[in-house]
Amino acid sequence: MRKSAEEAQRTRDRIIGAAVTQASGQGLTGLTIGSLAEALDMSKAGVVGPFGSRAGLQRAALTRAVEMFTQAVVVPARAEDPGLPRLTAVVDAWCGYLAHGPFPHGCFVTAVSCELDGQPGELRDLIRDAVARWRRFLREEVTAAQAAGDIAAHRDADDLVSILAGIAMAANQEIQLLGDGTAAARAGRLMHAALDAARPAARQAAPRG
Amino acid sequence: MRKSAEEAQRTRDRIIGAAVTQASGQGLTGLTIGSLAEALDMSKAGVVGPFGSRAGLQRAALTRAVEMFTQAVVVPARAEDPGLPRLTAVVDAWCGYLAHGPFPHGCFVTAVSCELDGQPGELRDLIRDAVARWRRFLREEVTAAQAAGDIAAHRDADDLVSILAGIAMAANQEIQLLGDGTAAARAGRLMHAALDAARPAARQAAPRG
């Protein structure tokens, strides 16, 4: 009994992994059970079964992709002190994720955000909540850095979050669409410069000009 | 004869317009001839006919969407002098486009870039070339502004282009996915600040701090 529950879990994991890989290239709404079944050497019913429906599998794949992003970018940074040390760790992990992430076709979260923003429903709510949660995390770290005097108090935290998110999205396009091999390094440089420009004048790394 | 050619052109235009609207929400690969035919009250064969194939219609829709972006953002700015005046006009038109653009579901170019970056083929080549052309235009204006002494000569033009593109992409996500009504105004403020921060020290609008 124990054994078969573990086996069911392993099968479920394998299906989700294949769905994430396929959706990374073709989009979540483009997920086809037929080609997943072929790739996994399973029946279509066997692929869908553990999730109740194609929609259930799409939800599971999206939830997994968000977990993979969190594991790659948020979890390592949580080992650092809140505020600027953690933000700096986030930036480094984020750019590593953009360059050598777990998805074959770049940031799954960005791709699904673009794909689903005009399609009301449960999947759109899922990705909206995940993106909102991620931005709230960044915002809290900016606020903590302000409390510690590492970022100027008059800076708008949402502005800085927007800038960091934007640099990552531009780099994702440069890497995935334009094939620019220098983009991840540029993103790291620009993110660190954005954090530095937001420091109180007395703590900035170098003069501007 | 003349008349029927005009009528064929009008029909073609109507189909492309409906395809752009549908693809803005559901993606270009999600374009379905059946629902287009229904929306247009035409036969499926009548919808596809003028384009030879579904792929031909997808190409026409993507080409049209790129033209709409160019009309909204590039054409008005071309009336200004090259360099900083033109960049400033681009930023204003771009943020207007993000807030009240011609597509029901936000920036079509960004959406299609995310959708197709992992799908090799003619459509991906089309959007890659359009994005590369757009970034080259921005880069040339930055270089012209440097030649005129309006942007510091030591600034990396590609860095500034990445920052501007990123701010637009983040704002598009904030507007379309997160429903943030303040995002377009923030994007305008951040883009102008990015241009200002790149000016030679003597020409900056305000001290930093």
Helical H segments across chain B, by residue range: 2-26, 33-40, 44-48, 54-69, 75-77, 84-100, 108-116, 122-147, 157-176, 183-197
**If we measure between CA atoms, which residue out of A70, A54, A71 comes closest to residue A19?**
A54
Do the domain assignments include residue A3? no
Amino acid at B31: L
Do the domain assignments include residue B157? yes
CATH code of residue A192? 1.10.357.10
Q: What is the pLDDT of residue B51?
A: 96
ipTM, two decimals: 0.93
For residue A110, list chain B residues with Cβ-Cβ distance below 8 A. 114, 173
Contact call for B104 and A114, based on CB within 8 A: no
Nearest chain B residue (CA) to A165: B170
Six-digit token pair at B38?
Answer: 């229904």
Mean pLDDT of A157-176: 97
A31: which residues sit within 8 A by CB, 6+ positions away? A19, A22, A23, A54, A57, A58, A61
Do the domain assignments include residue A45? no
Nearest chain B residue (CA) to A185: B159
Cα→Cα distances A36→A6, A15, A44, A97, B61, Å = 22, 8, 8, 25, 29
Helical H segments across chain A, by residue range: 2-26, 33-40, 44-48, 54-69, 75-77, 84-100, 108-116, 122-147, 157-176, 183-197
Q: Please answer whether residues B171 and B187 qualify as being in contact, where contact means their C-beta atoms are separated by less than 8 angstroms.
A: yes
Do the domain assignments include residue B145? yes
pLDDT of A102 higher than 90: no
Contact call for A162 and B168, based on CB within 8 A: no
Q: How far is residue B114's CA from residue A116's CA, in Å, rounded to a whole number?
A: 11
Contact call for A169 and B173, based on CB within 8 A: yes
A128: which residues sit within 8 A by CB, 6+ positions away? B177, B178
pLDDT band at A2 (very low <50, low <70, confident <90, very high): low
The minimum CA-CA distance between A126 and chain B, rounded to whole Å, is: 11
pLDDT of A158 higher than 70: yes
Cα atoms found within 13 Å of the Cα of residue B120, Cβ hemisphere only:
1
Residue ranges making up the domain that contains A66: 61-203
Mean pLDDT taken over chain A: 93
The minimum CA-CA distance between A5 and chain B, rounded to whole Å, is: 35
Do the domain assignments include residue B106? yes
**If we measure between CA atoms, which residue out of A9, A110, A97, A4 comes closest to residue A62?**
A110
Q: What is the pLDDT of residue A198?
A: 95
Q: What is the pLDDT of residue A206?
A: 57
Which of B113, B114, B139, B158 is the mutation pick for testing A, counting most A CBs within 10 A?
Answer: B114
Mean pLDDT of A30-53: 95
Q: How far is residue A139's CA from residue A162's CA, in Å, rounded to a whole number?
A: 10
Q: What does residue B78 show for φ and ψ, rounded to 5 degrees?
A: -65, -15
Q: How far is residue B36's CA from residue B19's CA, in Å, rounded to a whole number?
A: 7
pLDDT of A209 higher than 50: no
Mean pLDDT of A2-15: 90
Q: Scanning the structure block, which residue is given the tokens 């004869």? A: B1
Whole-model pTM: value is 0.93
Q: What is the pLDDT of residue B209?
A: 41
Count how many domains chain A has. 1
**If we measure between CA atoms, which residue out of A3, A38, A2, A4 comes closest to residue A18?**
A38
For residue B197, list chain A residues with Cβ-Cβ distance below 8 A. 197, 208
Q: What is the pLDDT of residue A96?
A: 93
∠ CA B198-B200-B203 to the nearest 5 degrees?
A: 105
Q: Please answer whether residues B200 and B149 qualify as being in contact, where contact means their C-beta atoms are separated by less than 8 angstroms.
A: yes
B192 interfacial to chain A (CB closer than 8 Å): no
Contact call for B169 and A166, based on CB within 8 A: yes
Q: Which residues of chain B have pLDDT under 70?
A: 1-3, 205-209
- Chain B neighbours among A 39-78 (CB < 8 Å)? none
Q: What is the pLDDT of residue B208?
A: 47
Cα→Cα distances A123→A13, A116, A127, B55, B107, Å = 19, 7, 6, 27, 20
**If we measure between CA atoms, which residue out of A202, A82, A89, A93 comes closest to residue A142?**
A82
